[in-house]
Amino acid sequence: MTEAAPALTASFWQSFSNPPLLWLSITLAVYLATHWLYQRSNGNPLLLPVLTGVVIIVALLWSTDTAYPDYFDSVRLLYFLIGPATVALAIPLCSQIARLRQMWLPLLVALLAGSATAVISAIGIAWLFGGSLETIISLAPKSATIPIAMGVAERTGGLGPLAAVAVAVTGISGAMMAPLMRRLLHIDDPAITGFAIGVSAHAIGTSRAIQLGEVAGAFSALGMALNGIATALLVPLALQLLGWL
């Protein structure tokens, strides 16, 4: 028994130090630590776990000379879970069906305006700054969730990883700016606040909207889901109208 203990310990450490499991464990530990810090700061937007966590992970990858493709392969399980987690966000919406029936027309107009603005502004800004066609296509679906944005970008000639980065930056900035914009525009209705956050800042914004209340979280999840569908339709349409597809 005593002779087997060192061998068992060595076997455990060898499996733990295997790069896939190691980086997955590090990523989860970094998230837990940054989430704790965010809660201790009473929700300071500059300490969003997605923002601080990304900075720490990037620093670790750079200091250990780990290539991003290797890291991505190691945490592919987390990428897979984005899909089920996104679908699960629809659960709180079930309790808001009555309110949804009353607001479907304003929500539809807001969805079309928000989604079109996000796609057109991304294409326009990238084009004005001299971005390549590949870059423009990659940035166009920035306001959709990562699985949808990467799929749209890759199927229309863009780069999936670049689209993912654009999505992350959009979500982080949207989650940070949402409380300020809410105060500046004097928006008190949690349904309006949540839907606007979901359309503009997808899942990262939705996680922030959930902190504002159940209603805001439910309508943010709705806005995120509908904007994902709208983006998947509008990006190819816009590229075709511009003659780039």
pLDDT of 118-154, one tens digit each?
999 999 999 999 999 999 999 999 999 888 999 999 9
Reading the block at residue 108, the tokens are 């539809």
**Cβ pair 93, 221 in contact under 8 A:** yes
Read off the pLDDT band of 16 (50, 70, 90).
Answer: very low
Per-residue pLDDT band at 229 (split at 50, 70, 90) = very high
Give the least confident one: 86-90, 136-140, 221-225: 86-90
CA distance 141 to 95: 30
- Average pLDDT taken over every residue of the chain: 85
User: Could you tell me the two tokens for 214?
Assistant: 């159940």
What pLDDT, on a 0 to 100 scale, did the predictor assign at position 19?
60
Q: How sure is the predictor about 13, in pLDDT bands with cuts at 50, 70 and 90?
A: very low
Tokens of 54: 């990304």
Please calculate the CA angle 75-76-78 and round it to the nearest 5 degrees: 70
Rounded to an integer, what distance in angstroms lies between the CA atom of residue 146 and that of residue 151? 8
pTM reported for the whole predicted model: 0.76
Q: In the structure, what pLDDT confidence band is assigned to residue 212 with cuts at 50, 70 and 90?
A: confident
Q: Which two tokens stand for residue 238?
A: 């816009």
Structure tokens at 57: 């992970």
